[in-house]
A and B are shown apart, each in its own frame.
Chain A
């Protein structure tokens, strides 16, 4: 299919989130970053028992409450109202970040401005202007057994977000293990991007052209297939 248009035929954020959700394992403890990554919980496959962690001190939270039923002492790290699932627990911030840095979480999923081929992540600020704010991003990239990123494959003006070396300020060094993009699923191993899946209509050449570092393969590259009606 030579008529593939990267800006029009790429996956939506919901579709990227759906794909990331398929890899969340039964019985795992997971932290989803504020914003786009939070959407992944919506697509958690049925039958999998997943416990979600939020930095401000809650394990085992559930869906957002109905409007008007918020209790503002019960919020997540994005300061949105949440509810509790049976088996939930509260704890203070030092315990919460012990769960993070102590290697107790199975998976953290974050957004990105840039990811480098060695796993460096830039996701907290794009320059030196304005008010800087880091929150828990620099902690979350260390300690989870897997650190994944969900992101558009390219910037709004079509430039690569997967790069040789990050030019934006770093959040963490060599920390990302898998990237779910609007075009592909890519692992980071041995300082290289290893292509695992790509959209079926997209050629290797076209994908490489919008990627800032060499895409390697290691075995078959599978078709990245997601539901259309998300």
Chain B
């Protein structure tokens, strides 16, 4: 079952207009920059995919990655916990101009909604956001004397994720704090597309070290020297 795709362009070729796309990473760590830029290239060349809903913890930094997607005008809506980063002008401008929608989700609830989708659990209760404006309109219930808010699973059509080692059957490891949302998103999307720094044959990763088992990954592409979002932002790169 070889899931290898040879280029990032091919890997993102079938993401359609209006797709809901999870993108891994927290700030710059674990952000699949090459997959995102391949998607932007396709949009610039063909006008598609447009009207994308992006799910990520943030809403992009600088003018690369998700910020460049927003700047290019491909993103209809962000579902995230912290769009107001130190260098988030691309999102801020569109948001304040009313040109992009925002669904704000507390960070732990965002992670758990994604995990629940991957685990086939349609809803769950959490104490997070009870009594706040982010719980308005949501069902609440008391359990053992404490109040909880019901939250729904969060699914996606596609997930773009980044790992360190991968093999051709889709097993993956992650580099340091670059793990963050990536393993959760791998489970929650109808199709998960992964970029990894090292792609090997089955058996190249010790099974005891596998973080994401290959069953959650549909396509895997090697990007040997991946760009790091934070480094790009700090050096002022504009994509």
Interface residues on B, range: 35 or more
Once A132-B84, A133-B83 are accepted as A-B contacts, the answer to whether A171 and B178 lie under 8 Å apart by CB is: no
Contacting pair A133 B82 (CB below 8 A): yes
Which of A138-146, A178-186, A191-199, A209-217 lies at the binding interface?
A138-146
Contacting pair B134 A56 (CB below 8 A): no
With contacts defined as CB atoms under 8 Å apart, how many contacts are there between chain A and chain B in the complex? Answer: 146
B residues 112-141 touching A (CB-CB < 8 Å): 112, 114-115, 126-134
Contacting pair A90 B85 (CB below 8 A): no
Contacting pair B29 A92 (CB below 8 A): no
Contacting pair A133 B179 (CB below 8 A): no
Once A94-B112, A170-B132 are accepted as A-B contacts, the answer to whether A134 and B179 lie under 8 Å apart by CB is: no
Contacting pair B127 A75 (CB below 8 A): no
Give bound CA distance, A135 to B57, whole Å: 8
Contacting pair A100 B180 (CB below 8 A): no
Interface size on A, residues (CB 8 A): 37
Contacting pair A97 B111 (CB below 8 A): yes
* A216 CB to nearest chain B CB (Å): 24
* B178 CB to nearest chain A CB (Å): 5
Q: Which residues of B contact A (CB under 8 A)?
A: 26-30, 57, 81-86, 88, 91-92, 95-96, 102, 104-112, 114-115, 126-134, 147, 174-184, 211, 228-231
Q: List 24 contacting pairs A-B, 8 Å CB cutoff, sorted by A.
A: A56-B29, A72-B230, A73-B28, A73-B175, A74-B29, A75-B177, A90-B176, A90-B179, A91-B179, A92-B180, A93-B110, A93-B180, A97-B108, A97-B112, A101-B127, A133-B104, A134-B82, A134-B104, A136-B106, A139-B107, A139-B109, A169-B133, A170-B132, A170-B133
Q: Which residues of A contact B (CB under 8 A)?
A: 55-58, 71-75, 79, 90-94, 96-97, 100-101, 120, 130-139, 142-143, 169-173
